[in-house]
Each structure stands twice: as C-alpha cells, then as structure tokens.
Amino acid sequence: MIRYNLYVDCMPGDGLQEIDHASLKRITKVARSLERLKNTSMDKFCTALSREIAIEFNRTMGKIIFDRTVRSQPGAFPFVALPEPIKVVAKATGRLICAHTFKADCTAFTFWLFKKYHYVIATLM
C-alpha cells in the first residue's frame, strides 16, 4: 500500500484535467458562509483552500489513470497491489451512508484527544 500511494503521489500533474471553475466557486461560497469563519481573513483562507482542492483533485485524477493502467496491464505491474474498493451506498437524496458508527468514532476520538493533553488528565484525576 505504501508503494501504491508513493506511485500515485509522484505522478506528474501536467496535462491532467483541472477542477471546474464553477465547482471551485461553489466550494468557496460554502466555505465563506460558515459561521465560524466570519471573523477570519477569508481571502487568505480561500486561496489556501483552492490550492488544497486543486492538489487533491490532481491526485485523484492521477489515481484514476494509474488504477486504469494497472488493471489494463497487470503483467507490466506485478509489484503493485491495488487497494480494495470501499463500498459506499448513496440514497436517492444524495447522502452517503458509510460503515462508520458515529458514536463509537466520536468516543474514540474524544478519548484520544483527552489523553493527549496533560492538563485534561490532571483535571480528570
């Protein structure tokens, strides 16, 4: 899996399809409407967000191309193991249903977060 991610991360991004400007504008609009970000410098934040989205989009496009190439020529890449696809079921409303239990994940995250800070541990004792 480490080798696979290394190959995907090192793929050149030149010539790949870029994210649609309208989609990027919609994402930026949603970010600007968040209540918690009203008092921050939105221009700096939106520029960083746009860069991060473009990088992730290029990585995803490279991953799709790499997966298709490895599947079409398995003899040429015997040393690459493709990850198992994650099954995600989408309802008609467009919401995604994942195999995660929110309560268990939240409890584990909260426990880890509390365990990290010494002053929280001292307060709980």
Instruction: Count other C-beta atoms under 10 Å from residue 7's C-beta.
Output: 16
Residue 36 is which amino acid? R
Given a cut of 70, whether residue 105 has pLDDT beyond it is yes
Kindly state the DSSP code that residue 91 receives in the 8-state scheme.
-
Using CA atoms, how far apart are residues 85 and 74, in angstroms rounded to an integer? 17
For residues 14-25, average pLDDT: 82
Q: How many domains does the chain have?
A: 1
The residue assigned the tokens 């995600």 is 88
Mean per-residue pLDDT, 34-45: 69
Q: What is the distance of C-alpha 119 from the center of its chain? A: 32
Residue 90: domain span: 2-124
Mean pLDDT of the chain: 77
